[in-house]
């Protein structure tokens, strides 16, 4: 019995020492791997209620800021502003009901989040007086939401052409509804019916950077409470929390369910507007650019689009994006990245449209 206790104690001590060395090693080389937080700030009023309409508050200037940090040191990844037109879309020219419409629809890449929207240059250089370009790019949206956004916009007039700018993540995004969280002064995106902390936190237009960074730190302190707060002081604790979140996502099978819903919505868009009137520009995400190929989800979505026999533009091959065309920590393109998207879109999407 004494030998068993001694052996057990030896194993416990050895295991604890091993964990200590692993912790020290990981803190030295991978300290922020699973703890790099992002907080998005936006001026109020901004995003409209996506139950009834799509886009932002009309005729407004919206400031958006992304803050990153590892729980100790926060910094501003980007601080940019955009303007909206008379129906709340991210474009400079007002909606003109007398014209025919070419709708460009997508997510934050289409909106131009993180820099000056590339759509502004697109509409400035558009010289066709019969057709108007419409920017239905809205942050965080996916195919299911675009189906509803197109239906909403069709009430304004007849859509002649649709150019869908998608990334892989758009195919697993659920339909969400913006809901103001008064307690935390921000907007939550209700997705699966459960309550969330805000995705976007409200700020004043003239908020200085120090105030924004302090608020990010306060939000981080609030979100890490209880045992999670102490676990995240250690790399192994952060790693365990990361594994738990991945298991939860896999267990609930959200991705497969949402992929199926988005494929159905895509087919409904084709049925409603006609395959000959739809073009898809498949843009690569940052990690896909770095690895030089589409992810598993990106490949699956590409194969699905091609199976529908509509014009497909391979953005990974044609837009020539590289790692330097994205923000350092943020996954959105920077100014040079959006310039390449603009060039790619102008040449391969707009340049090949056959208008009546």
pLDDT tens for the chain, 356 residues long, are 556 666 666 667 766 666 555 545 555 455 554 446 889 999 998 998 888 889 999 999 999 999 998 666 889 999 999 999 999 999 999 999 999 999 999 999 999 999 999 999 999 999 999 999 999 999 999 999 999 999 999 999 899 999 999 999 999 999 988 888 888 899 888 775 455 778 899 998 899 999 999 999 888 876 555 445 444 555 444 555 444 555 544 544 558 889 999 999 999 999 999 999 999 999 999 999 999 999 999 999 999 999 999 999 999 999 999 999 999 989 999 999 999 999 999 999 998 887 76
Q: What angle do CA 123, 334, 340 make, to 5 degrees?
A: 55
Q: What angle do CA 259, 260, 264 make, to 5 degrees?
A: 115
Per-residue model confidence as pLDDT tens digits over 112-151: 999 999 999 999 999 999 999 999 999 999 999 999 999 9
Per-residue model confidence as pLDDT tens digits over 36-79: 688 999 999 899 888 888 999 999 999 999 999 866 688 999 99
For the chain, how long is the longest CA-to-CA vector? 92
Rg (CA), the chain: 23
Residue 203 has phi, psi (to 5 degrees) of: -135, 165
- The domains located in the chain, with CATH, are 37-179+254-352 (3.40.50.1110)
Query: Encoding tokens for residue 101?
Result: 């419409």
Distances (CA, A) of 37 to 11, 68, 77, 330: 36, 5, 12, 10
Residue 160: which H helix or E strand, with range? strand 159-166
SS3 6: helix
């Amino acid at each position: 019995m004494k030998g068993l206790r001694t052996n057990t104690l030896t194993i416990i001590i050895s295991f604890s020492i091993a964990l200590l060395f692993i912790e020290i090693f990981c803190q030295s080389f991978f300290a922020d791997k699973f703890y790099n937080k992002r907080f998005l700030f936006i001026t109020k009023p901004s995003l409209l209620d996506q139950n009834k309409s799509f886009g932002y508050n009309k005729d407004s200037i919206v400031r958006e800021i992304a803050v990153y940090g590892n729980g100790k040191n926060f910094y501003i990844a980007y601080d940019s502003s955009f303007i909206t037109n008379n129906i709340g879309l991210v474009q400079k020219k007002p909606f003109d009901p007398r014209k025919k419409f070419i709708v460009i629809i997508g997510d934050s890449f289409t909106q131009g989040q993180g820099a000056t929207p590339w759509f502004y240059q697109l509409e400035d250089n558009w010289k066709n007086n019969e057709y108007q370009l419409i920017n239905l790019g809205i942050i965080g949206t996916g195919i299911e939401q675009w189906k509803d956004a197109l239906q909403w916009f069709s009430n304004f007039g007849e859509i002649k052409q649709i150019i869908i700018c998608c990334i892989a993540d758009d195919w697993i995004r659920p339909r969400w509804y913006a809901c103001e969280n008064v307690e935390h002064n921000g907007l939550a995106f209700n997705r699966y019916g459960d309550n969330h902390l805000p995705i976007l936190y409200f700020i004043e237009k003239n908020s200085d950077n120090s105030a924004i960074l302090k608020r990010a730190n306060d939000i981080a302190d609030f979100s890490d409470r209880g045992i999670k707060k102490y676990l995240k002081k250690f790399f192994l604790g952060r790693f365990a929390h990361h594994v738990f979140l991945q298991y939860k996502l896999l267990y609930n099978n959200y991705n497969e369910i949402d992929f199926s819903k988005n494929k159905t919505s895509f087919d409904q868009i084709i049925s409603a507007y006609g395959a000959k009137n739809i073009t898809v520009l498949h843009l690569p995400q940052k990690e896909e650019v770095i690895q030089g190929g589409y992810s598993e989800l990106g490949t699956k979505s590409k194969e699905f689009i091609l199976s529908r026999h509509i014009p497909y533009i391979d953005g990974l091959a044609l837009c020539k994006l590289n790692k330097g065309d994205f923000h350092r920590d943020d996954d959105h393109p920077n100014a040079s990245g959006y310039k390449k998207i603009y060039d790619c879109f102008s040449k391969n999407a707009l340049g090949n449209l056959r208008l009546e």
